[in-house]
């Protein structure tokens, strides 16, 4: 599951002209890798896999994918537009770290844990507790 796909890449930092020579499978692989990178931060805070996510997460994954694609293809980080790709990538990693540290809230819906016993911490037992006036207290360890 990817938080972005190749159609998102031109929306978040790389022109369709720059993407044209890059095969679609390579673009999808970059999106998948970027999503995995996002998950390394999200798993510190949310139950994965995420059920839903907003454009903040989609944009973060796309910016990472764009940076990885351009790093592979080659670009000049000292030029204006190319430098912007690097800065946006670094800003995205900072944002992901803030999410992991619970400093900002990402627009996500995590998986709900379906394991029994987590929602209801009470314990039900048929053992007498010895709390009436007619018997001495009984020690029962649950």
Q: What is the mean pLDDT of residues 105-126?
A: 68
72 or 76: which leads in pLDDT: 72
Return the ∠ at Cα 38 (arms to 95 and 69), rounded to 5°: 100
Q: What is the pLDDT of residue 127?
A: 63
* Torsion angle in degrees (nearest 10) through CA of 101, 9, 14, 55: -40
pLDDT in tens, 18-30: 899 999 999 999 9
Contact 82, 67 (CB under 8 A): no
Alpha carbon 6 to chain centroid distance? 18
Residue 53 pLDDT > 50: yes
Rounded CA-CA distance 111/104 in Å is 19
Q: Which pLDDT value is given to residue 68?
A: 93
pTM comes to 0.76
Name the pLDDT band for 76 (thresholds 50, 70, 90).
low
Q: Where are the alpha helices (DSSP H) in 74-120?
A: 80-100
The per-residue pLDDT of the chain, averaged, comes to 84
Task: Check whether 121 has a pLDDT greater than 60.
Answer: no
pLDDT in the model for residue 30: 97
Model confidence at 45: pLDDT above 50: yes
Residues 6, 8: Cα–Cα separation, whole Å = 5
């Amino acid at each position: 599951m990817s938080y972005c796909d190749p159609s998102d890449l031109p929306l978040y930092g790389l022109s369709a002209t720059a993407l044209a020579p890059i095969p679609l499978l390579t673009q999808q692989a970059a999106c998948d890798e970027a999503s995995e990178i996002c998950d390394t931060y999200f798993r510190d805070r949310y139950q994965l896999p995420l059920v839903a996510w907003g454009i903040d997460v989609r944009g973060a994954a796309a910016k990472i994918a764009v940076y990885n694609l351009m790093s592979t293809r080659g670009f000049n980080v000292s030029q204006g537009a190319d430098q912007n790709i690097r800065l946006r990538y670094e800003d995205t990693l900072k944002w992901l770290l803030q999410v992991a540290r619970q400093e900002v809230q990402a627009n996500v819906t995590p998986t709900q844990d379906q394991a029994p016993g987590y929602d209801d911490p009470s314990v039900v037992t048929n053992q007498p507790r010895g709390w009436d006036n007619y018997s001495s207290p009984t020690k029962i360890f649950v």
